[in-house]
Amino acid sequence: MLITGGAGFIGSHVVEECLAHNYEVVVVDNFSSGNIDNLSINCKVYQIDINDAHLKHVFEVEKPDIVIHLAAQASVMKSIEDPIADGEINILGTLRLLEYARIHNVKKVVLASSAAVYGNPLEIPIDEEFPLNPLSFYSLSKWSGERYAQLYESLYGLPCCILRFSNVYGPRQNPQGEAGVVSIFINQLLNHEEIVIYGGQQTRDFVYVKDVAKACFRAIESPTTGIFNISSSSETSIDDLFSMTSLLAGISIEPYKYPLRQGEIQNSVLGNEKATNELGWQNIHSLHDGLRETILSYHK
Ligand SMILES: NC(=O)c1ccc[n+]([C@@H]2O[C@H](COP(=O)([O-])OP(=O)(O)OC[C@H]3O[C@@H](n4cnc5c(N)ncnc54)[C@H](O)[C@@H]3O)[C@@H](O)[C@H]2O)c1
């Protein structure tokens, strides 16, 4: 099995999940945001870019029967600053992987996509049939990857599962830059830093990274293909998230409040019934339990 982006936040949990089920795991990662320390010694690692000509050699040598594609330029801000670099990684890189997967008769491709493809939802919860409206080059490049995968499936019979993740949080999430709000809050609380909340009543759908890793595993085990929301299906406001995190960390800091930033989505929650019914996946961790585990991981 080949996992791209395996040294990243989500990828490293997917690697662990697959190793725990005795899969032989090969990781391709250029370590642009991933970290070698996230990886177990029980997997083989190629430090290369997915657009590197050497990727062809990896397929020839390793002959993977399954590909889980998580490597990506995952920042909305960077995609606006440099749409070409974003497209090269998220569109061209994905296309390259699909083409090698086709040539080498891969049995299943699992592709990481994002709730960002839906844009600003007109109604919630959002199901997989909801009209797409990418509002950044990142969401557009993720959608392009989805469309390439769907065409590879319909033209060549390459079985693909596309997983649209909501807001993923958990251990190993990088708190730098444009990271998930959970890791930002935990870091600020533990370092007793100033905390700023823009808005606070806007809601998001937080899904724990270990549940996401299990969804990737279900997607490779199940014969089903298609598009699936991977989410908690529950809505939490940023204010409530902050209170919960602060309570669990046992640290109380009064955050500075500013108005909601322009362009920010008000409410987002993804329905996960399709993944539950067709992939046999279940979102196990409550936000409370996931946050507790995440905070504990900072003390290890
Ligand atoms: N974190 C979230 O909340 C979230 C939500 C929706 C979708 N996703 C998607 O999930 C996937 C994983 O995201 P993450 O949060 O773990 O991000 P991450 O940045 O931690 O992981 C991405 C990994 O890919 C590697 N990588 C990046 N560009 C590469 C390239 N050109 N060649 C080889 N390796 C490369 C990085 O080094 C890193 O290890 C991405 O596809 C992202 O778009 C994440």
Q: Domain limits at 214?
A: 2-166+207-231+270-283
Q: At what angle do helices 54-62 and 93-103 cross, to 10 degrees?
A: 30
pLDDT at residue 113, as a whole number: 98
68 ligand 1 Cβ < 6 A: no
Inside any domain, residue 30: yes
194 assigned to some structural domain: no
Which protein residue has the closest C-alpha to ligand 1 atom 21?
A: 8
Q: Which two tokens stand for residue 80?
A: 């606006």
What average pLDDT does range 216-236 have in this prediction? 97
Residue 60 lies in a domain: yes
SS3 157: coil
Residue 109, helix vs strand vs coil: strand
171 is a domain residue? no
User: Mean pLDDT of all residues in the chain?
Assistant: 95
Closest CA to 202 of 263, 265, 122, 119: 265
Q: What is the CATH number of the domain that holds 89?
A: 3.40.50.720
Over residues 128-172, the pLDDT tens digits come to 999 999 999 999 999 999 999 999 999 999 999 999 999 999 999
Residue 123, exposed/middle/buried by CB under 10 A (0-12, 13-18, 19+)? exposed
In a domain, 82, yes or no: yes
Q: What pLDDT score does 97 carry?
A: 98
Q: Domain count of the chain?
A: 1
Determine the residue of 168, 176, 206 to mutate for testing ligand 1's pocket, defined as the one with the most ligand atoms within 8 A of the Cβ atom: 168
State mean pLDDT over 231-236.
Answer: 97
Mean pLDDT of the 65-76 span: 96
Whether the pLDDT of residue 179 is over 90: the answer is no
Residue 155 lies in a domain: yes
Give the pLDDT score at 121: 84
Instruction: Say which amino acid occupies 36.
Output: I
The answer to whether residue 256 is catalytic is: no
Determine the average pLDDT of the residues in 256-278. Answer: 92
Q: Is residue 126 part of a domain?
A: yes
CB atoms within 10 A of CB 259: 8
Give distance in angstroms: CA of 225 to centre of ligand 1.
22
Rounded Cα–Cα distance for residues 114 and 133 (Å): 12
Helical segments of 113-272, H only: 137-156, 181-190, 209-221, 238-249
**Ligand 1 proximity of 50 Cβ (cutoff 6 Å):** yes
Residue 111: CB within 6 Å of ligand 1?
no
Q: Does 290 fall in a domain?
A: no
pLDDT value, residue 177: 56
pLDDT of residue 175: 76
Residue 178's pLDDT is what? 55
- Of residues 102 and 77, more confidently modeled: 102
User: Is the pLDDT at 215 greater than 70, yes or no?
Assistant: yes
Which structure tokens are listed for 114?
A: 């994002």
